[in-house]
């Protein structure tokens, strides 16, 4: 019987941990959320993050910027939030319109307010095993794997995707968990063959139903980090279900844990206790 790795119990456990921790902080954590433009999915995800924040007693400060905003105006807002003592965390939702330099904007976020783990410095710190916030979806995946007592040490984990907020930091964090990691991307030859050698497959490619059941080694574990329109994951769920020993559903898998990790990082930032993963 294939085990379903649901995200909600993992998210609930994180939230319980946070509620306890919040009792020891004598301030209400505040997160600034920024969306540039009118990407429908971005608005949906940020609304979900804000609703979850409010439920946890975190105050969201929303910034919805026009799609024609200039780089200077965006940087000016980030600078203002960096120097606002009341703001504990800053979230700049990806993607932003193409005329803007997203990397420069991410990197403008002060390290201690980078609760979303998107700055180059956070990424470098994580790679070196230093104390910064890991990007939220990679952090969610590692939390979910640990929650279900899945061994990472010495396992061959194949990550499909190398985006700067998902595939790359995830591969790096998995190496720190003593896994043997192969990262596949659009120039990788024979992806099917490589996936077939994996003990754990993590799909973070941004292509609906990309991973097929026939690629999967019998009994492997499949984690779907995809968030495509219409709630489609990156994994062809039906065919993979038949081959694997455990799988995350979409929706209801990695997604809810990603949001819980953002809340956790925000509360930890508020408590000035940044903690690795």
Ligand X SMILES: Nc1nc2c(c(=O)[nH]1)N[C@@H](CN(C=O)c1ccc(C(=O)N[C@@H](CCC(=O)O)C(=O)O)cc1)CN2
Task: Please check if 219 is assigned to a binding site.
Answer: no
Binding flag, residue 263, ligand X (CB under 6 A):
no
Binding flag, residue 219, ligand X (CB under 6 A):
no
Give the whole-angstrom CA distance, residue 260 versus residue 49. Answer: 9
Give the dihedral sign, CA 145/146/150/151: positive
Q: How far is the CB of 91 from ligand X (least distance, A)?
A: 6
State which of residues 116, 125, 199, 264 lies at the interface with ligand X (CB under 6 A). Answer: 116
User: Among all residues, which ones are annotated catalytic?
Assistant: 49, 93, 116
Q: How far is the CB of 226 from ligand X (least distance, A)?
A: 9
Binding flag, residue 227, ligand X (CB under 6 A):
yes
Of the candidate spans 12-20, 86-94, 151-159, 179-187, the one that interacts with ligand X by CB under 6 A turns out to be: 86-94
Whichever of 62 and 197 has its CB closer to ligand X, that residue is 62
State which of residues 256, 264, 265, 269 lies at the interface with ligand X (CB under 6 A). Answer: 256
Going across the sheet that includes 30-36, the strands are: 59-65, 30-36, 89-92
Task: Please check if 162 is assigned to a binding site.
Answer: yes
Binding flag, residue 224, ligand X (CB under 6 A):
no
Q: How far is the CB of 41 from ligand X (least distance, A)?
A: 7
Distances (CA, A) of 21 to 35, 55, 105, 172, 180: 29, 15, 31, 28, 34
Cross-strand bridge partners of residue 60: 31
Binding flag, residue 167, ligand X (CB under 6 A):
no
Of the candidate spans 12-20, 89-97, 188-196, 237-245, the one that interacts with ligand X by CB under 6 A turns out to be: 89-97
Residue numbers at the binding site for ligand X (CB under 6 A):
45, 91-94, 116, 118, 136-137, 165, 227, 231, 250-252, 255-256, 258-259
């Amino acid at each position: 019987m294939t085990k379903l790795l649901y995200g909600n119990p993992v998210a609930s456990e994180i939230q319980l941990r946070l509620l306890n921790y919040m009792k020891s902080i004598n301030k209400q954590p505040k997160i600034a959320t920024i969306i540039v433009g009118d990407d429908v999915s971005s608005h949906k995800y940020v609304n979900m993050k804000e609703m979850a924040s409010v439920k946890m007693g975190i105050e969201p400060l929303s910034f919805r910027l026009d799609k024609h905003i200039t780089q200077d105006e965006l940087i000016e807002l980030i600078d203002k939030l960096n120097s606002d003592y009341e703001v504990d965390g800053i979230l700049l939702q990806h993607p932003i319109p193409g005329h803007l330099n997203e990397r420069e904007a991410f990197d403008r976020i002060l390290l201690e307010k980078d609760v979303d783990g998107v700055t180059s410095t956070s990424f470098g710190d994580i790679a070196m095993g230093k104390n910064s916030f890991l990007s939220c979806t990679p952090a969610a995946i590692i939390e979910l794997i640990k929650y279900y007592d899945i061994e990472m040490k010495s396992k061959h984990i194949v990550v499909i995707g190398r985006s700067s907020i998902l595939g790359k930091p995830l591969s790096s964090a998995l190496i720190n968990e003593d896994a043997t990691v192969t990262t596949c991307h659009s120039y990788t030859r024979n992806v099917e063959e490589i996936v077939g050698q994996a003990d754990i497959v993590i799909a973070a490619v941004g292509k609906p139903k990309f991973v097929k059941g026939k690629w999967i080694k019998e009994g492997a574990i499949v984690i779907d980090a995809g968030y495509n329109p219409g709630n489609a994951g990156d994994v062809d769920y039906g065919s993979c279900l038949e081959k694997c020993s455990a799988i995350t559903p979409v929706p209801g898998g990695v997604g809810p844990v990603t949001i819980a990790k953002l809340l956790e990082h925000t509360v930890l930032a508020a408590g000035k206790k940044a903690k690795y993963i």
